[in-house]
């Protein structure tokens, strides 16, 4: 990553009291505060466990998880498209990830790859995952997260919301084996997130946050999530591996 001295935390920050990473509510869009908590509960342990060595952070935007994986990596290479509105001074390469041209890297160059919440913006996911397989070392892993029952976050540059079964299939077609895949969110969470989108700013957002705390304190969203996160999954966190 270029200009590391200019990097600042975005989606997550370290809580100085506990030393743990938590959602940075000041930087997350007000309408996504509810889902961000669900995502980070799942993302953080997986990134800490699987991202290490020489890392390719592809479609990285403002490199939101850099501080999380930084202690375990020797180098992180950041890639995104030239029109990205996020932290372009951090990018090592400007790449159109939907172009038919290969990624500008040699075969088996990276130990691990980050592809966080970006595969929905890819028009040819089979070709994209095949390219990740090419530049990944044998035995290397890829962290992928992807929304499912969720709004189009970067309209109109959003093409496919994949089910669990589609994610596993396109990974297998590209030569990967699935190490871990898990849904986050369920029917109640979809309802809460939709309400959050209506109450995204100002006083209404403060009211929503109080309401969300009360709802979570009842245990209703958590109970419903366990029953419905299959057909009503808000999204998935996935780890895939290139066979050694």
Residue in this structure with the two tokens 């190490």, named with its chain if needed: 179
- Kindly report, residue by residue over 8-18, the tens digit of the pLDDT: 999 999 999 99
Are the C-beta atoms of 116 and 142 separated by less than 8 Å? no
pLDDT of residue 82: 79
Computed over every residue of the chain, the mean pLDDT equals 95
Domain ranges of the chain: 4-241
pLDDT of residue 159: 96
User: What φ, ψ does residue 190 adopt, rounded to 5°?
Assistant: -60, -45
Confirm or reject CATH 3.40.50.150 for domain 4-241, answering yes or no: yes
pLDDT of residue 155: 87
Confidence of residue 83 (pLDDT cuts 50, 70, 90): confident
Q: Is the pLDDT of residue 84 over 80?
A: no
Report the alpha-carbon distance of residue 199 to residue 205 in Å, rounded.
5
Q: Is the pLDDT of residue 86 over 90?
A: no
- Kindly report, residue by residue over 104-122, the tens digit of the pLDDT: 999 999 999 999 999 999 9
pLDDT of residue 218: 98
Residue 57: CB atoms within 10 Å? 30
Q: Is the pLDDT of residue 29 over 80?
A: yes
Contacts 24+ apart (CB under 8 A), 89-96: 89/2, 89/3, 89/6, 90/1, 90/2, 90/3, 90/4, 90/6, 90/7, 90/60, 90/62, 90/63, 91/1, 91/2, 91/60, 92/1, 92/2
């Amino acid at each position: 990553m270029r200009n590391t001295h200019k990097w600042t935390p975005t989606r997550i920050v370290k809580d100085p009291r506990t030393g743990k990473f938590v959602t940075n509510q000041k930087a997350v869009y007000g309408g996504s505060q509810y889902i961000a908590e669900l995502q980070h509960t799942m993302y953080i342990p997986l990134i800490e466990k699987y991202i290490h060595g020489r890392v390719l952070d592809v479609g990285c935007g403002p490199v939101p998880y850099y501080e999380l994986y930084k202690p375990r990596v020797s180098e992180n290479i950041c890639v995104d498209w030239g029109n990205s509105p996020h932290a372009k001074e951090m990018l090592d390469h400007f790449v159109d990830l939907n172009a038919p041209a290969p990624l500008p890297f040699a075969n088996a160059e990276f130990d691990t790859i980050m592809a966080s919440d970006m595969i929905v913006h890819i028009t040819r996911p089979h070709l994209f995952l095949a390219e990740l397989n090419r530049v990944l070392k044998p035995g290397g892993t890829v962290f992928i997260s992807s929304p499912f029952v969720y709004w189009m976050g970067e309209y109109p540059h959003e093409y496919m919301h994949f089910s669990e079964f589609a994610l596993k299939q396109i990974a297998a077609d590209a030569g990967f084996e699935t190490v871990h895949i898990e849904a986050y969110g369920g029917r109640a969470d979809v309802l809460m997130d939709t309400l959050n989108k209506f109450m995204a700013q100002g006083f209404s957002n403060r009211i929503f946050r109080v309401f969300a705390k009360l709802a979570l304190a009842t245990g209703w969203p958590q109970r419903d999530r366990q029953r419905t996160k299959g057909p009503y999954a808000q999204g998935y966190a996935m780890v895939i591996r290139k066979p050694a």
